[in-house]
Amino acid sequence: MSTRKKLKDYISKSVRKLKHRKGYGVHSPFAYAVITEVIEERLPYYAYQRMKRLYAKNSPIPFKVATLLFRLSNRFRTRNILEIGCDTGFSILPLLLVDSRNNVTTVASQHQWQETRQHLSLFPGTTDRIRSIDAIEALPDDYVADMIVVNGAPAGIEPTTFVEWLKSHLQERGVLFVRGIQPGHQLETYWDEICECDRIEVTMDMYDYGLAIRRPRFYKQHYVVSF
């Protein structure tokens, strides 16, 4: 990343932090609770100490994102989790440590799956709760996830088609987490489609990351959040 781009990101995030922190201006009790009690929560969990063993390495995601994924799964009690765009265990470890009943299906190549198993070997019992498939087409039509983590878009699928696919596989009170939504990044257009689509009622733009939550009885809500 160029120095100019780093400076631009720093300024953008600083302005966002001043204007959009601690739920300022948010009138929805549900959204306010998600922002202040999940996204901005700073209380330590015992699992964080275990997680640091993996994130001390060259992690593709910051540790603060890993802990946010942990809190999201803990808050919404996600049991069946789908990862699209395998990052070899770094996104799914927090989700597996939340509860021994949590299980993950990851879309991964054979090489990615081998690396995932290697990374998670530090955490006995985690790989037993992961199923690896080589393409989203391998999922049964009736598969429904409580949480979907999108680290990258499948090749050859248009944004509108992919978002429709996501909706059909996310349960009606499910959670969707998207990495890389800022302008110029791979999932920017996909995130725009998610924010516009029906049946995804609550969306939160965290600059680099997007959070979408299904709540069928809610009106459409969109928030800019400092993270």
Q: Supply the CATH number for residue 59's domain.
A: 3.40.50.150
- The amino acid at 176: L
What pLDDT does residue 3 have?
Answer: 63
Which helix (DSSP H) or strand (DSSP E) does residue 82 occupy? strand 80-84
Mean pLDDT of 129-149: 96
d(CA 215, CA 200): 7
The tokens for 197 are: 């689509």
Q: Give the burial class of 64: count Cβ atoms within 10 A of its Cβ; 0-12 exposed, 13-18 middle, 19 or more buried.
A: exposed
Answer yes or no: is pLDDT of 10 > 50.
no
Distances in Å between the alpha carbon of 30 and those of 27, 96, 122?
9, 25, 36
pLDDT of residue 82 exceeding 60 = yes
CB 47 within 8 A of CB 97: yes
Cα 108 to Cα 82: distance, rounded to the nearest angstrom: 11
- Check pLDDT > 50 for residue 84: yes
DSSP conformation class of 129: G
* C-alpha dist (Å) from residue 178 to 27, 45, 50, 172, 187: 24, 23, 24, 18, 8
Q: pTM to 2 decimals? A: 0.90
* pLDDT, average across residues 60-65: 93
Cβ count within 10 A of residue 4? 8
Domain tally, the chain: 1
Domain containing residue 99: 3-224
Above 90 in pLDDT, residue 116? yes
Task: Give the whole-angstrom CA distance, residue 34 versus residue 36.
Answer: 6
The partner residues of 23 in beta bridges, in order of sequence, read: none
Average pLDDT over residues 28-56: 93
Higher pLDDT, 8 or 101: 101
